Amino acid sequence: MRKNSLFIVFLLCIALPLCALPIQLFEEGKELQYHENWYGAIELYQQALKENPAYNAVYRGLAECFYALGEYDQAIVYAERARRYSPQDVDIENLYAFILIGIGRIEEAQKIFSGILNRYPNNLDARFGMAEIEVTGGRLTNASELYAAALRRQSENRKALLSLALLSHETGNMQAAQSYISRALQYHGDNAQVHYFAGYLSALAGNLTEAEGRIRAALTIDENYDRARALLCSLLYSSGRYREAMSVADLRIAGDRKRADAWYVKALCLMKLAEKTQAFEAAQIGLSVDPENELMRTLLEDIAVQAFEFEDTQRKELADAHRVKGDAFLNRNMTDQALYEYRRALKVYPYDTDSRQAYSNILIRQGFYERAVQQLEFIQSIEKSTARINDTVEAYSKMLDHSVRNRWNINPLYLNKAHLSVGLFYQVNAANVFHPEAEKLTASLMNDLLSYNRRFAISAHLDSPSSYMEAFRQARTAGNDYFGIVNLQENERDIQITLDLYVGRTGSKAETLTVYRSGNDRFGNAIRRIIGMFNQAMPVIGSIVGRSQAEAVIDIGSGDCDFTDYTVEIVKNGTLTIANEGIGLLYNEKDVLGTFTVGRISEDLTEGTLTRKGYYDRMAKGDMAVLIYTDPARTGGKTEKTVDGADSRGQQMSQLLSLLRSIR
């Protein structure tokens, strides 16, 4: 008997530590999850599974962590395993349904939430899930009603209060947003996340001092709250306290050197402090940490352009990355993307002959022979030409001997084709914790890309952010036809760029161009798209630059527009004005002198014949050529433009959904 007892004690001594190990790993992982250290928690949870593959609570924890990271495909794998071990667990059912929303299986999620509410009418998580489905569909009023119903059941519920505060702010009801956040602070003043969202909403409202106080309170409660520290870093930078912001960034980097957004802010601060070399090094490390971070790369290139000479090898290395990417796009016949990459390469390092030659080849394929020859002639001018380049220049130069420009002896390079002037401004979002002042980088990049379109004279105001009033005053003083204000919102996976266009003379709204993109290359894709939308939205204006009898040439070519479905009216010089609101042109019918019939088209010039209106021929060099749509399908009222073929409303809501899902 004594031997049996001793044997049982021996087995227990072995078994208890084995059982304790996965439990200890789980508890440590839970603690990291509480502090939103998702990666650390995942690592500990996976170690716990190695010790106990049937540990159900660990599967749930993994599902929650991957859900928080937005990795819904992986989250659902662990949620399904957790359901298998605990099929009657309502909390796991709710988690599974929330993940289904994330991967777009809305109907399945709705069915699960409805089933839970039929069994447990007071289950708040299921009600929150139904509200999230409404947000996904852009039905914010319905979502608010569901959160309010949950609040009636639990008047102090933290998630309901914070969600209603965010929804109220999204719908423009600032008074209600303040009321809900005040109630959340009253009932949950000891919760770090409540103070974080109070600070976040204050930052959005421009109350930076109040926002800073709330964020510091959150960090007092939870000193490991990195999300709050990231927002504090952004607030300090927006307040012009660059050394303080850099100290906070350094603190975040000390905690985890892989925090690319901390390196980004540090580089910004160093630039403001005129430490360009150190700023370049910080941005370089940040890019090495997150090589796919397009805004980090854009910042690094912007620093390089400002800090180094044209021939510097640092600039060459940065350009090489764009050239390699451009070559890859070209091999897949993705011409627009390749053009973007080659242009970026040439902006960073103008002497990149490989990129310039590849760019020239694309122009040749698109029929822009004059512009292609100009690129190759630049290579010749810096004495880096080859026999092949020389032969190409000679061949296409001969072909252009009979072009419109040579026939009329007009060099387009000396023409002022920019008949529309646009001021470009930007505003900053102090609550942007990922890339503060990304709006400035966006506006700068848009300015670079618009410089390739000679229809526009773009004046970019990048020294500091501008309010609407400041932008209107500067644009009107400068005599700009239009002015645009760039805004940007982003989360870990999505980006939204908005260009609000206004009439320079009146300040009235002209158009709002909005682009949403997610996934890889989202920033570059969004920039290209919004530039394309801008080019399409603006009216096409030219002028008569040469005339001989009934023949004439105007300074609009194939590089400016497609003449299909257009007629060209000739309007007396000096009588054309910009519409008071919207995008359009105003002129009196009596000032229409005739029409222009398109003949030969080149890249920057088009020749054709003039037909007078009335008895006298009053058309002369300098009179304006206005393109008018003749296709009824392409005319009509202006509407807000979004990404073609995409669920733009759903993408717009992803910004809000990301915040709602982060509420614990």
Q: What is the pLDDT of residue 640?
A: 40
Is the pLDDT assigned to residue 566 strictly greater than 70? yes
Segment 319-335 shows an average pLDDT of 95
Task: Kindly indicate the confidence band of residue 6, based on its pLDDT and cuts at 50, 70 and 90.
Answer: very low
Rounded distance, CA 368 to CA 366, Å? 6
Residue 87 CB coordination number (10 Å):
9
Q: Provide the β-strand partners of residue 641.
A: 513
- CATH number for 420-536 (one of 1.20.1050.10, 3.40.50.2300, 3.40.50.10610, 2.60.130.10): it is 3.40.50.10610
pLDDT in tens, 607-626: 999 999 888 889 999 999 99
Amino acid 118: pLDDT: 93
- Provide, rounded to the nearest whole percent, the portion of the chain with pLDDT above 70: 94
Strands 541-548 and 509-518: unpaired
pTM, two decimal places: 0.85
pLDDT at residue 12 above 50? Answer: no
Protein fold of 308-402: 1.25.40
- Window from 3-12, 154-163, 501-510, 619-628 with minimum mean pLDDT: 3-12
Which amino acid is located at 30 in the chain?
Answer: K
Is residue 232 very low, low, confident or very high in pLDDT (cuts 50, 70, 90)?
very high
User: What are the residue boundaries of the structural domains of the chain, listed by start?
Assistant: 308-402, 420-536, 541-632
pLDDT at 664: 81
Confidence of residue 292 (pLDDT cuts 50, 70, 90): very high
- Degrees to nearest 5, angle at CA 657 with 235 and 180: 65
Token representation of residue 648: 């733009």
**CB-based contact 118:96 (threshold 8 Å):** no
d(CA 205, CA 497): 19
Overall average pLDDT of the 566-588 stretch: 92
CATH topology of domain 541-632: Thrombin, subunit H (2.40.10)
Give the pLDDT score at 653: 60
- Poorest-pLDDT segment among 5-19, 59-73, 353-367, 542-556: 5-19
Mean pLDDT on 627-631: 78
Q: What is the pLDDT of residue 648?
A: 45
Question: What spatial distance separates the first Cα and last Cα of the chain, rounded to whole Å?
Answer: 54
Give the integer Cα–Cα distance in Å for 23 and 645: 49
Stretch 7-22: mean pLDDT = 48
Specify the range with the lowest mean pLDDT, choosing from 9-18, 86-95, 174-183, 366-375: 9-18
556 has pLDDT over 60 = yes
The pLDDT value recorded for residue 50 is 86
Identify the residue with better confidence: 484 or 104: 484
**Predicted pLDDT at 138:** 84
Identify the three-state secondary structure at position 185: helix
Distance of CA 481 to the CA centre of its chain: 26
Q: How far apart are CA 571 and CA 563, in angstroms?
A: 18
Per-residue pLDDT reduced to its tens digit, 204-230: 988 999 999 999 999 999 998 999 999
- What pairing do the DSSP bridges indicate for beta strands 551-554 and 606-612? antiparallel
Chain segment 59-102, per-residue pLDDT in tens: 899 888 888 888 888 898 889 988 888 888 899 999 999 999 98
Contact 322, 355 (CB under 8 A): yes
Residues 160 and 147: beta-carbon distance below 8 Å: yes
> Whole-angstrom Cα distance, residue 214 to residue 199?
5
Question: In sequence order, what are the residues at sequence separation of 6 or more whose Cβ sits closer than 8 angstroms to the Cβ of residue 401?
Answer: none
What pLDDT score was predicted for residue 608?
94
Taking residues 404-409, what's their average pLDDT?
90
CA–CA gap between residue 69 and residue 96 (Å, rounded)? 15
- pLDDT for 652 equals 54
